[in-house]
Amino acid sequence: MKYTGWPDPGDLVVGRIDEIEDFGVFVDLLEYTDRRGLVHISEVASGWIKNIRDHVGTGETVVCKVLDVDQSTQQIDLSLKDVNDHQRSEKIQEWKNEQKADKWMTLAFGEDVSDEQYGTVANELLGAFGTLYEGFEQAAIRGTEALSETDLTDEEVDAIVETARANVSVPYVTVTGYIHLESPNPNGVDDVRAALETAAGNGEIGDETDLDVTYVGAPEYRIKVRAPSYKLAEDELTATVDRARSAIEDRGGTAQFHREQQTEGENS
């Protein structure tokens, strides 16, 4: 997807160097339709530059900072030296993600999707999530619920969710805790078993969250939650512990909890 408008001063943009002159570098802005900017030689690199071609090459993909935009003269002033390595890496990844999302739009709505429908869907996703990629990622994680606040049709929502879940690898985190369950009653084993069944949620866990309660060694049990974000994982871990504690205490028993945390990532 390419934007038809103009970047704003301060924006980071991805471009390809298509012409080098002694006074500066012309950059074709890859995220915009028919937009070209100039990096003056003073903005190519810090310090004195003897030969501009020692710093840049034709065809090179670069990340620039927008310094100024004059729509009346169609001039966009850019800087290379004002972009640090971290910003460059993040922007390139964002650009690559949007290229993926552009392909997913075609998969969702077909090669013959009209410009009008593409633009309508894209604008809804951009308005709700900031980027197309984030829209598809949230659709993969949360399904139709993620798109409930948009004005997309049911058919469009279903197409996005189906495509997202077939193509998007979402990041996950895993949090782990340990709970000690004890009951002084003669049927204490049954009390603990009932508390564990309650802790497991009785089928009330969300589709995007995996919950596993396993035996470690009496009286200790491991609770492991895998979810798309720390907040979801932490919330479910807390809820699981609360369910177990309430159930065992109702039977006169006690619960003690301690935890460990582990991150599990899957790159998109």
Sheet (strand 173-182) strand order:
210-217, 220-227, 173-182, 254-262
Confidence at residue 206, expressed as pLDDT on a 0 to 100 scale: 60
Query: 209, 259, 212: which is closest to 229 by C-alpha?
Result: 209
What ranges do the domains of the chain cover? 12-83, 86-167, 173-262
Neighbour tally for 213: CB within 10 Å: 17
Pair 242, 183: CB distance under 8 Å: no
Pick the CATH number of 12-83 from 2.40.50.140, 3.40.50.450, 3.90.380.10, 1.10.357.10: 2.40.50.140
29-58 tens-digit pLDDT? 999 999 999 999 999 999 899 999 999 999
Q: In the CATH hierarchy, which top-level class contains the domain 173-262?
A: alpha beta
**pLDDT level of residue 264 (50, 70, 90 thresholds):** very low
Confidence at residue 4, expressed as pLDDT on a 0 to 100 scale: 83
60-106 tens-digit pLDDT? 999 999 999 999 999 999 999 999 999 999 999 999 999 999 999 99
pTM (2 decimals)? 0.64
